[in-house]
Amino acid sequence: MAPPAAHRSGSNKRAQLGLFAGYVVAGSGALIGAVLLIISLVSPQTFQGLRSMASDLAAPAGQAGAVGRTQGRSFFEAIAGYYDAGSKNAELEREIEIARVRLAEAEALRQENERLKGVLNLASGETEPVAVARLIGSTSASTRRFAYLSAGREDGVANGMPVTSPMGLVGRVLEAGANSSRVLLLTDSESLVPVRRATDDVVAFAEGRADGSLRIRLINLGINPLEEGDIFVTSGAGGMFRPGVAVGMITEITPDGGIAQLLSNPAATDVVIVEPIWQQPILDGIEEVDVGDAVD
């Protein structure tokens, strides 16, 4: 379509000025954007309040969608059940899959227990979940991998809390809003989780790759002991994630570790559990010591 007449200012002084002012306003808009971008790149948490307010506003719609997704799926599953006996198998297979992960986790727990009991003589009870919520959306158009969770500060969710599903670790809360929060998924390239092999004590870092898989980086370099099919669980190092939660399964071996597929695919999870930070008192203690050092 042809441009409107406003574009052809000709010798009309007023039109020329208007056109010029338009460019100035648009240019300063872009400049403000650049400044804001630099600020948010330097300190990513600056605009947390603004963003959580926005996601709080849109959360009800997202929640309705998430419920619809679950119900829609079960509706179609029910129909499929009449036509395809195999779909009943699918449910069983899913349970077996969970059981298999559980088995690996149990093995890891047993080892953990043995070690703790042997070395520290400590007993820790089951962690009480902070909240049970749904994942209501994700930043599916950006290279960053965030998800939106339908629980916030009002449900007791705080920044840094791990988010798990029955299949394993999903991520951790990055920004908690009033009734929704933003979760950093494991596959985000800024996500780093200390893990160990479920069967022994090969420790590594699970680093997100933007394409939905994890990169397992061994801490002790040398001969790569990994094999395809190895399951990695959280090691508890760092104090944020409790040990023994399933993270990923190795599908490819690289010189310094491997590529792992997520065990708990966030796309297939309906309900997730927000857990408290594993060693909150110790983490707080460390921070206090740091502050103390800074004051000294």
Residues that bind another protein (CB under 8 A): 1-4, 6-7, 22-23, 25-27, 29-30, 32-41, 44, 46-47, 50-51, 54-55, 58-59, 61-62, 65-66, 68-69, 135-148, 185, 187-190, 209-212, 262, 265-267, 269
Closer residue to another protein in complex, CB, 62/162: 62
CB of 200 to another protein, least distance (A): 28
Closer residue to another protein in complex, CB, 199/261: 261
Identify the burial level of 14 via C-beta atoms within 10 angstroms of its C-beta, where 0-12 means exposed, 13-18 middle and 19 or more buried: exposed
Closer residue to another protein in complex, CB, 202/272: 272
β-pair partners for 168: 165
Closer residue to another protein in complex, CB, 51/153: 51
CB of 58 to another protein, least distance (A): 5
CB of 76 to another protein, least distance (A): 15
Closer residue to another protein in complex, CB, 177/236: 177
Q: Which has the closest alpha carbon to 67: 148, 136, 168, 170?
A: 136
Closer residue to another protein in complex, CB, 202/249: 249
Q: Using an 8 Å Cβ cutoff, are 269 and 135 in contact?
A: yes
Q: Using an 8 Å Cβ cutoff, are 63 and 136 in contact?
A: yes
Closer residue to another protein in complex, CB, 134/197: 134
CB of 126 to another protein, least distance (A): 27
Closer residue to another protein in complex, CB, 131/185: 185
Both structure tokens of 76: 């179609």
CB of 263 to another protein, least distance (A): 12
CB of 160 to another protein, least distance (A): 18
Which residues contact residue 153 at a Cβ distance below 8 angstroms, ignoring those fewer than 6 apart?
A: 176, 177, 178, 179, 181
CB of 218 to another protein, least distance (A): 19
CB of 268 to another protein, least distance (A): 8
